[in-house]
Amino acid sequence: MDELVKLVSEKVGINEEQARQAVETVVGFLKEKLPEPISGQLEAALEGDLGDLGGMAGSIGKLFG
């Protein structure tokens, strides 16, 4: 998640603490709205485990038909 925070900070021009709050807000919203298997994969991806990124993309694709 640190990489995402740094990216948001740089792109938007805010300090890292503000960026962290924004990222945590968005991630919290997504985890609340997405079905459990996908929200778990999102959490793993944010922690740096991108091993099943294809599985997450497939799961998201199924949500939209």
CB atoms within 10 A of CB 19: 20
pLDDT score for 41: 87
Asked whether the beta carbons of 60 and 38 are under 8 A apart, the reply is yes
pLDDT tens, position by position, 2-58: 999 999 999 999 999 999 999 999 999 998 999 988 888 888 888 887 665 555 555
pLDDT score for 62: 62
- As a whole number of Å, the end-to-end CA separation of the chain is 29
Tell me the whole-structure pTM to 2 decimals. 0.66
pLDDT score for 1: 86
pLDDT tens, position by position, 10-24: 999 999 999 999 999
What DSSP element (H or E) covers 5?
helix 2-12
Can you tell me the distance from the alpha carbon of 29 to that of 37, in angstroms, rounded to the nearest whole number? Answer: 15
